[in-house]
Copies of this chain bind each other. A is one copy, B any other.
Amino acid sequence: MKKTYKVLFLPHQKEIIVNEGEILIRAAIEAGVHVNASCGGEGVCAKCRVIIEQGSIEGGVSERLKQEDIQKGYCLACQAKIRSDLIVRIPVESSIDASVLNQTSTPRSKAEIQHFDLAQLKEQGLYIPPVEKRAITVNPPSNEDNVNDVSRVINGLREAFDEHRLEMTLQTIQKLPDILREGNYSITLTLNRPVREGRKSQIINVQAGNREEKHYVIAIDIGTTTVYGELLDRMTGESLASYGDFNRQISYGEDVISRIVFAEKGDGLQKLNKAVIETMNDIIQKLISRSRIEPDDISTITIAANTCMTQLLLSINPRYIRRAPYVPAASVYPPFNATNIGLNLPNHTIALVYPCISSYVGGDIVAGVMSSGMYQSEALTLFIDIGTNAEIVIGNCDWMTCAACSAGPAFEGGGVEHGMRATKGAIEDFSIDPVTYEPMILTIGHVRPKGICGSGLITILAVLFENGVIDQSGKFNTDLNTSRIRKTNDVYEYVLAWATETQIDRDIVITEIDIENLIRAKGAMYSGYMTLLTEVGLTIDQLDRIFLAGGFGSYIDLEKAMVIGLLPEVDPQKVIYLGNGSLQGAKMNCLSNHIRQDVKETVNKMTNFELSETPSYMDNYIASLFLPHTDMNLFPKLKQRLALRK
């Protein structure tokens, strides 16, 4: 457990609990306390001056502060680490009318985070590993007993472990005679279990001596942009190494569609396949060297990816994915040897690939659903994975329905003038002084800003809207008295950071066109949930839970996402961050066979809707092209807050 401290902000009288070492400005923003700040947290604008009235901080002193101010307790909030309970006063020059503040901003809702619990699974008796190791010692052959090596070993497994229905792979037979004698008739066999009980187990490897405890598996999530890998101890479920890298296919196209277009030309498919295999091999190599294990002890690699990434990984022409009627090659893929697709792993390592539901609801979503556990709960659940495409699953243990909608790349920075990926220098948090309309910006890495990342865009949009800087249709209120709002090339925009405060020598702005694109993107998603809910005869208030999956999902400020109508307005307590559900699902798949059985059932249970073919989708979409929606009754709490503000 991390140490936590209480921070009380005055004069707002707002209190928040934060982790030891948290940056003070982050605590302020999470408490809904505005402090002007324009350098992103680098400490150079010196606008975020606060007074420490009680408690101790580390850092926060700057040459930009006068000596006398330092003696009075002033510090820069963006430079101060919290080291005890604190009482912090926002000084007069930054002070605002607390009553307004209370109306417009509330502390952040922290959503529950889902974890995969191997111990729980073991307790429930559901822990059936897909691959197991068995160490045995057999009698050496003699004149009286000169049965062949394979039969000797299979008999040994039967006697020691009551194993039946065994078959040895040719690769294992090839090694067996020498290893059996090298181990002086003590060996460890690796058994690949069938998904269904009663089928044959395959003996896929043999090692000299007892190596039962040395057993490792790798889980991989292949995203369109990034590939993550994790190496786990199969015995304990413990993660020994993890590593992520950009998918090298990026150089052939940013998104799924441009990859498919590339794959259709000449040897495009081979190039894309090679790129992702190389990315994976690099990650695998890093995982192995960091965890210092013997590669021969890796029995399984499980992979989850969207449908296009899955087909490119397996060298399957993806052209029919992007053409109506949008047909993927397969749903379920058989297990195969990892070396068959060029992975640098031992030739016995089994590769398991998550099944895909449709062309746009892929293995990453199935993996996420498995990792969420929604398939085994009665709770009515909305599962959302937000990215260029938003994938949506609604259902519970009895039924499930899914769809994908193309939201466009706006939340990933595409079609947004200063949009960028969530890397160093991206504005990720934002607040506004409701009187002066001066911004408070925080960047990733606490450096001067370069642009705005997805979670930043959501927050900016929500804050601008709640403070009346933009209206329901995303247009700027040009009556406001601030130089931050201006017109450039006939388009209104709000200046987040002046050129001198940035790394890019230009003002960083958000324009009405950016906002239009963002509204279209969130509208596509919201109409997706609504269409799917309507198709199954449900309404938002009937939802018991919402799972937010995807790396991006984890950074979303729930309340802000509800303000702009990116998420339906529900009790934040119902929302659960899943993190990388795809990687999580891949990890579960290589640890428990139970999941593999459930996956098949879940995939069979899942009904896919093609939203583009569902008539109500377009109506829902049109209705969603407002902040948060044309029907404010869908957002009762926001409606109430806005009414109060007026």
Contacts from A to B (Cβ < 8 Å): 141-143, 145-151, 167-170, 173-174, 176-178, 181, 199, 314-317, 319-320, 324-334, 336, 340, 356, 358-359, 610, 613
Contact = CB atoms under 8 A, between A and B. Distances in A.
Given A146-B325, A148-B331, A325-B143, A320 B167 contact: no
B325 A148 contact: no
Contacts of A148: 327-331, 356, 358
A99 B308 CA distance: 91
Contacts of A141: 325, 327
B325 A173 contact: no
A149 B326 CA distance: 11
A147 B356 CA distance: 11
A319 B173 CA distance: 14
Given A178-B317, A316-B177, A324-B143, A169 B332 contact: no
Nearest to A351: B170
A327 B150 contact: no
A485 to B, nearest CB: 46
27 contacts: A142-B325, A143-B325, A143-B610, A143-B613, A145-B325, A146-B327, A147-B327, A148-B327, A148-B329, A148-B356, A148-B358, A149-B328, A149-B329, A150-B330, A167-B334, A168-B330, A168-B334, A169-B334, A170-B333, A170-B340, A173-B314, A173-B329, A174-B314, A176-B330, A177-B317, A177-B319, A177-B327
**What 9 A-B pairs are tightest by C-beta distance, nearest first?**
A150-B330, A146-B325, A148-B328, A141-B327, A170-B336, A143-B325, A177-B329, A141-B325, A173-B330
Given A142-B325, A314-B174, A317-B178, A150 B334 contact: no
A618 to B, nearest CB: 15
A316 B173 contact: yes
A336 B340 CA distance: 14
A358 B319 CA distance: 53
A170 to B, nearest CB: 5
Contacts of A315: 174
Contacts of A359: 146
A319 B331 CA distance: 46
A143 B324 CA distance: 7
Contacts of A143: 324-325, 610, 613
Given A143-B610, A170-B336, A340-B170, A331 B177 contact: no
A358 B146 contact: yes
Contacts of A168: 330, 334
Given A177-B329, A325-B141, A331-B151, A314 B146 contact: no
B326 A146 contact: yes
Contacts of A324: 143
Given A146-B326, A150-B329, A177-B327, 19 more contacts: A142-B325, A143-B325, A146-B325, A146-B358, A148-B356, A149-B330, A168-B330, A170-B314, A170-B334, A170-B336, A173-B329, A173-B333, A174-B314, A174-B315, A174-B316, A177-B316, A177-B317, A177-B319, A181-B320
Residue of A143, A148, A359 most packed against chain B (CB within 10 A): A148
A477 B147 CA distance: 49
Nearest to A320: B177
A333 B151 CA distance: 11
Contacts of A327: 141, 146-149, 177
Nearest to A150: B330
A151 B327 CA distance: 11
A71 to B, nearest CB: 71
A317 B150 CA distance: 14
Nearest to A325: B146
Contacts of A169: 334
Contacts of A356: 148
A347 to B, nearest CB: 10
A93 to B, nearest CB: 61
A340 B171 CA distance: 10
A175 to B, nearest CB: 9
A340 B173 CA distance: 14
A176 B334 CA distance: 14
A145 B327 CA distance: 9
A324 B146 CA distance: 9
Nearest to A170: B336
Residue of A314, A325, A329, A332 most packed against chain B (CB within 10 A): A329
A336 B145 CA distance: 29
A342 to B, nearest CB: 13
Contacts of A173: 314, 316, 329-330, 333
Contacts of A150: 329-332
A146 B323 CA distance: 11
Nearest to A315: B174
A149 to B, nearest CB: 5
Contacts of A167: 334
A552 to B, nearest CB: 27
Residue of A169, A181, A316, A333 most packed against chain B (CB within 10 A): A316
A149 B283 CA distance: 32
